[in-house]
């Protein structure tokens, strides 16, 4: 393992000043070169064509020299690989035929996952080779970039599978949880197994870090959070580390609020992602100092740029100096973010003085 990479060092428990940096949705619509490729192929084709996925993954690395490259894919590739049809519709987001009963669940074909995710694994293999070669990638120095593989956490992926897409209130998810809890649990159990397998395959193909995105973790009451977020996350972490001892894993329980305490304590993750609503000053003293933090800068500060962004970024870094820290946003880069602001942010974080 290349312990010279800063992100891997942080995941190993080290404190680095200034902290390494990457951004959620760093490969996305705010980049002109991404928008250009977007004209050529639809979203699924971009995810499933290794040449395109590799190119899109590397675009932000070339420009900004980030410390991590995150595989260009989506959390909904897993349900797609299980046979649930998936479309991304402009202005609407992902659309899937919703699973609302046993029949819907029975139609899934998890036995076909292996074959369907092959192009994604090919992308990971190519990316691992490129980032570990002797050649620099644009602004990034040779062998400085860590490759992040990822999946959605079972609860968040289940939300999309049951709703059939994004939702304002997740009423169908809660209806199933209360009216047919056995069915919802079956979906979660299936996702625990398939997600752990999928992540192990990404690691085998060359992912150096794993991140679990739990974008909707925060909508659950504490008891349901335990059942559908904590226990499944624990189990996925256990399964990964059973095969890959001590493997570095980041978890992102978005909007978890104070439930972040049990998440940090019980999931055995190396680094916890913080959305912008978490108050570092409040949570810092109650979470073990060996656990690293990532994130927290409001994506709207980046959208607006300037002093306000710079001050808030510096304040996060100062508050987290005493623990392992990876600089990031509290959620993804907003599509209308000016590219110049991203340069400013990276420059600012990299030049932080004592």
Q: Which residues in this chain contact ligand 1CP in the complex, by CB under 6 A?
A: 24-29, 38, 43, 70, 72, 74-76, 88, 93-94, 150, 166, 213, 215, 332
Please report, for residues 78, 199, 201, the alpha-carbon distance to residue 114 in angstroms, rounded to integers and kept in the order given.
10, 12, 9
Select from 66, 37, 35, 36 the least CA-distant residue to 52: 37
d(CA 161, CA 90) in angstroms, rounded, equals 19
Shortest reach from residue 28's CB to ligand 1CP, in Å: 4
The C-alpha torsion from 120 through 123 and 127 to 130, rounded to 10°, is 170
Our CB check for ligand 1CP shows the closer of 139 and 314 to be 139
d(CA 296, CA 306) in angstroms, rounded, equals 17
- Active-site residues: which are they? 25, 29, 38, 74, 160
Our CB check for ligand 1CP shows the closer of 155 and 293 to be 155
Contact 82, 113 (CB under 8 A): yes
Shortest reach from residue 292's CB to ligand 1CP, in Å: 19
Shortest reach from residue 328's CB to ligand 1CP, in Å: 10
Our CB check for ligand 1CP shows the closer of 267 and 323 to be 267
Our CB check for ligand 1CP shows the closer of 15 and 116 to be 116
Shortest reach from residue 354's CB to ligand 1CP, in Å: 31
What are the structure tokens assigned to 70, written together?
A: 């995150």
d(CA 200, CA 244) in angstroms, rounded, equals 8
Please report, for residues 105, 289, 323, the alpha-carbon distance to residue 15 in angstroms, rounded to integers and kept in the order given.
45, 10, 6
């Amino acid at each position: 393992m290349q312990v010279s990479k800063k992100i891997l060092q942080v995941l190993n428990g080290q404190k680095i000043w200034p902290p390494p940096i990457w951004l959620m949705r760093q490969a996305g619509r705010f980049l002109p070169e991404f928008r250009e490729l977007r004209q050529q192929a639809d979203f699924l084709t971009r995810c499933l064509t290794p040449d395109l996925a590799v190119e899109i993954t590397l675009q932000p690395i070339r420009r900004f020299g980030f410390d991590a490259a995150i595989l260009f894919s989506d959390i909904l590739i897993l349900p797609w690989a299980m046979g649930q049809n998936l479309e991304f519709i402009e202005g609407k987001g992902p659309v899937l035929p919703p699973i609302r009963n046993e029949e819907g669940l029975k139609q899934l074909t998890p036995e076909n996952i292996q074959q369907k995710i092959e192009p994604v694994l090919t992308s990971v293999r190519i990316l691992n080779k490129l980032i570990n070669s002797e050649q620099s990638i644009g602004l990034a120095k040779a062998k400085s970039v860590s490759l992040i593989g990822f999946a959605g956490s079972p609860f968040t992926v289940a939300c999309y599978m049951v709703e059939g897409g994004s939702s304002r209130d997740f009423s169908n998810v809660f209806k199933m949880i209360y009216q047919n809890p056995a069915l919802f649990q079956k979906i979660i159990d299936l996702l625990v197994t398939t997600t752990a397998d999928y992540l192990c395959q990404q690691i085998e193909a060359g992912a150096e870090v794993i991140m679990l995105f739990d974008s909707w973790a925060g909508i659950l009451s504490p008891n349901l959070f335990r059942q559908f977020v904590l226990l499944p996350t624990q189990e996925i972490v256990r399964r990964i580390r059973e095969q890959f001892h001590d493997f570095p894993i980041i978890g992102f329980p978005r909007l978890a609020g104070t439930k972040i305490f049990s998440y940090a304590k019980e999931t055995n993750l190396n680094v916890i992602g913080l959305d912008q609503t978490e108050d570092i000053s409040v949570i810092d003293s109650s979470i073990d100092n060996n656990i690293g933090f990532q994130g927290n800068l409001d994506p709207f500060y980046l959208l607006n740029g300037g002093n306000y962004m710079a001050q808030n970024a510096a304040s996060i870094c100062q508050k987290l100096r005493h623990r392992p820290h990876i600089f990031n946003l509290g959620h993804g880069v907003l599509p209308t973010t000016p590219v110049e602001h991203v340069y400013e942010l990276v420059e600012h974080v990299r030049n932080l003085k004592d």
